[in-house]
Amino acid sequence: MIVPITRFRKRRNNAICAAITLPALLASVASVHAQTAADLAAATPPAHAVWLETTDISQMQAGWGAPAVDKTIDGHPLTLKGTVFPHGVGTHAPSSFHVLLHGGATRFSAVVGADDETQGHEASVTFQVVVDDKTVAQTPVLRPGDAPQLISVDLTGAKDLLLKVGDGGDGISFDHADWGGAAITLASDASPKPEAYVIPQTPPRLVIPTPDPKPAIHGPRITGVTPGHPFLFRIPATGDGPLTFSAKNLPAGLTLSSGTGIITGALTAAGTTDVTLTVRGAKGTATRTLTIIGGDKKVAQTPPMGWNSWNVWGTSVTEERVKASADQMLQSGLAGHGYGYINIDDAWEAGRDADGKIQTNEKFPDIKALGDYIHGLGLRFGIYSSPGTKTCGGYTASYQHEQQDADSYAAWGVDYLKYDWCSYEDVAKGDHSLPSLQKPYLVMSDALSKVNRDIVFSFCQYGMGDVWKWGAETGGNSWRTTGDIQDNWGSLHDIYTHQAGHEVYAGPGHWNDPDMLMVGIVGFGNTHPTHLKPNEQILHMSMWCLLSSPLLIGCDMTRLDPFTLALLSNDEALDINQDPLGKPAARVTTADDKDVWARPLFDGTHAVGLVNGTDEPATITARWSDLGVKGKQPVRDLWLHKDLGAFADSYSVEVPAHGCVLLKIGKSK
């Protein structure tokens, strides 16, 4: 039962002290009376009841931050339309919490809504209560200032209680959700106490292979550049060294360093050229074709792969940390698997000189030299700004200096620009019409088109206005489809489940971006191992490869453990991401949070992800009819690096909770 609460009377201590005009709420079993909002705002629990927070709230998932006991997600008193609840749980959409009841409870009650601290923001949340796999309560979308809702549901004889918070269908920005005064009433004081369900942690479904000593070429099979603009491409290769490189049919204007595998120069003419690359090592020789396209706006033919500073360093990024990351890209071997960008995020800026030219702060004393250093390694150099007056971190942004900044970036050798909406909200003044959303990106796109180098243009505006539908025509090479990712299951689950349908808008040169990778040591300056469990990380990497997402590592490159390296360097998975056909995966079936995602590949095979978003292992089936193939098909498991045999019509496998089995189905041409 859900009842809107329309009138509160409060004492100075903010506790509700008077009866509220509500219908009588009676339990349907054993005549147990439901708690009223007044009961739930008291300092002590109702008779025979325990507060929800007495269970292990650390098991609650949230889309941002960590759920808090008796506080909001931001650490403030739980407040719904002016009423403070001394007990309860503050969380952030999307959120879920599974409680084991052992048949000893009779009722769950809570007052729910978007916390008052979200006033002035476009927050929206929904609350759902599921008892023994049946939804028994669902609120409408609740926004800041809306009347909170009293939820009261019968639990008599129930085994499981699942509490969920949704994002209201418009993203998770500021979706601070309160379970105010949440209480579970027991049949008696002797009843077994509720306890948080702990998701079973099975070993990661992944085999770390022994490095192959034979030479191999990896990464993109196609790349594009504007004739006359600087060209830089490091041939990604692995194998026992020393490695030497050669190329047949290089276009005019390009040269290859045989010792480093770095191709530089500038195309003299437009056109498409197939180049035969060869790498030789101590254990043999490997060849591969690289297609080079010369023409206007031909960058990002495959999703960019590299590293970005934000998810690990936040505003504490420094030149030394960026250089160390670039060095480690080579020393770890990840450059040999196709990672090529080193991107500085926010916190490099330091105002403007008398002529309005953007300056760097003391952490980056010579940014041109830093760019040269990165280029000297055969890697590309990225930077960050905002179309507003300030960046997200409060630093100088590009508003009304777009061409000046584009000229500076070109002079510094920048190859990639992440452009973050942030304070442009103050310029737009709440106008989220399509022309308003497009305007700042059109302005910077025009500025970038006038400089003498190719700069990948990455929109960071969180998916507003269905950016995937218009990002390409506005000059974007990629665009964020979501809010910022966090290193927790709630965030990851919300992001990947909301990508369905976006795939039709992406392809070579323009990609959906569900944000950066959250594996390894992360933390936005407060570093720690990712809170994503190993199988969640496997799902994360699998989905980003299936979706043709930019693969920007967000961790401390100097502390890469074997598991993280295995995740990031699986060439069979990376080949899906970098497939030259450029057709991101679609969700072909879904049922009860168990999905099948699939995409065709250039060699005639299909990549398939069996994705289990539930809290228990589950058997999931890929059916050939859903993929558009017939007859017996060979199946290969890409995380186990194992051929499984040929199967007629379908293939089924048990997938770990919060896990993914990544398959390649069919025979290459």
659 touches 612 (CB < 8 A): yes
Question: Pick from 539, 531, 550, 368: which is nearest to 459 by CA?
Answer: 550
Angle, CA of 540, 545 and 546, to the nearest 5°: 100
Residue 4: what pLDDT?
54
CA 72, CA 91: separation in Å to the nearest integer?
7
| CATH class of domain segment(s) 2-196 | mainly beta
Identify the H or E element spanning 310: helix 310-313
pLDDT at 530 over 70: yes
| Neighbouring residues of 332: CB distance < 8 A, sequence distance ≥ 6 | 557, 560, 565
Residue ranges per structural domain of the chain: 2-196, 216-294, 305-413+421-455+484-493+515-580, 587-665
Question: Pick from 462, 423, 576, 391: which is nearest to 173 by CA?
Answer: 462
Which tokens in the block code for residue 434?
């399509």
* Catalytic option among 167, 175, 454, 484: 484
658 touches 535 (CB < 8 A): yes
Give the predicted TM-score (pTM) of the model: 0.89
pLDDT band at 8 (very low <50, low <70, confident <90, very high): very low
Domain 305-413+421-455+484-493+515-580 is classified in which CATH homologous superfamily? Aldolase class I (3.20.20.70)
Prior bond of 365 cis (ω within 30°): no
Which tokens in the block code for residue 639?
């995380």
Residue 374: what pLDDT?
98
Judge whether 561 counts as a catalytic residue.
Answer: no
**Of the listed ranges 4-13, 173-182, 341-350, 482-491, the one predicted with least confidence:** 4-13
pLDDT at 28 over 60: no
Count CB neighbours of 179 within 10 A.
29
369 touches 323 (CB < 8 A): no
- Tens digit of pLDDT for each residue in 403-423? 999 999 999 999 999 999 999
Residue 434: what pLDDT?
97
CA 409, CA 425: separation in Å to the nearest integer?
24
pLDDT at 24 over 90: no
pLDDT at 180 over 50: yes
Summarize the confidence of residues 329-347 as an average pLDDT: 98
- Please determine whether the domains at 2-196 and 587-665 fall in the same fold group of CATH: no
Summarize the confidence of residues 512-519 as an average pLDDT: 98
**CA distances (Å), 257 to each of 39, 243, 245, 376, in order?**
75, 12, 7, 12
Identify the H or E element spanning 108: strand 105-114
Prior bond of 236 cis (ω within 30°): no
Residue 168: what pLDDT?
86
pLDDT at 439 over 50: yes
292 touches 251 (CB < 8 A): yes
- Tens digit of pLDDT for each residue in 596-626? 999 999 999 999 999 999 989 999 999 999 9
Instruction: Give residue 397's identity as a one-letter amino acid code.
Output: A
639 touches 661 (CB < 8 A): yes
Residue 37: what pLDDT?
72
Question: Which spans in 60-121 are helix H?
Answer: none
pLDDT at 32 over 80: no
Summarize the confidence of residues 281-300 as an average pLDDT: 97
Instruction: Give the burial class of 496: count Cβ atoms within 10 A of its Cβ; 0-12 exposed, 13-18 middle, 19 or more buried.
Output: buried
Which backbone phi and psi does 490 adopt, to 5 degrees?
Answer: -55, -45
- Mapped onto helix, strand or coil, the DSSP state of residue 154 is strand
Residue 529 Ramachandran class (φ > 0 left, ψ -120 to 50 alpha, else beta): beta
Residue 105: what pLDDT?
95
**CA distances (Å), 19 to each of 23, 84, 633, in order?**
11, 16, 67
| CATH class of domain segment(s) 216-294 | mainly beta
* Catalytic option among 405, 420, 571, 637: 420
Three-class HEC string of 415-461: CEEEEECCCHHHHHCCCCCHHHHHHHHHHHHHHHHCCCCCCEEEEEC
254 touches 293 (CB < 8 A): no
| Neighbouring residues of 301: CB distance < 8 A, sequence distance ≥ 6 | 220, 222, 223, 224, 293, 508, 509, 580, 582
CA 119, CA 146: separation in Å to the nearest integer?
10
610 touches 655 (CB < 8 A): yes
Residue 2: what pLDDT?
66
Provide the Cα torsion 301, 305, 311, 316; round to 10°: -100
Which tokens in the block code for residue 411?
């002079």
Identify the H or E element spanning 409: helix 402-412
Summarize the confidence of residues 418-436 as an average pLDDT: 94
CA 640, CA 455: separation in Å to the nearest integer?
37
578 touches 302 (CB < 8 A): yes
Per DSSP, what are the bridge partners of residue 635?
A: 645, 665
**CA distances (Å), 329 to each of 1, 558, 579, in order?**
55, 9, 22
* b/e sequence 338-356, b meaning 16+ C-beta within 10 Å: bbbbbbbbbbbbeeeeeee
Residue 65: what pLDDT?
86
Residue 1: what pLDDT?
60
- Tens digit of pLDDT for each residue in 567-591? 999 999 999 999 999 999 999 999 9
CATH fold for the domain made of 587-665: Immunoglobulin-like (2.60.40)
Summarize the confidence of residues 60-64 as an average pLDDT: 88
- Mapped onto helix, strand or coil, the DSSP state of residue 342 is strand
Which tokens in the block code for residue 382?
């990225």
Judge whether 346 counts as a catalytic residue.
Answer: no
CA 109, CA 115: separation in Å to the nearest integer?
18
Which residue in this structure is represented by tokens 């209480």? 183
Instruction: Give residue 623's identity as a one-letter amino acid code.
Output: R
- Tens digit of pLDDT for each residue in 183-240? 999 999 889 999 999 887 789 999 999 999 999 999 999 999 999 999 999 999 999 9
Residue 201: what pLDDT?
79
349 touches 412 (CB < 8 A): no
Summarize the confidence of residues 303-311 as an average pLDDT: 98
pLDDT band at 9 (very low <50, low <70, confident <90, very high): very low
Residue 34: what pLDDT?
54
Which residue in this structure is represented by tokens 């197939």? 274
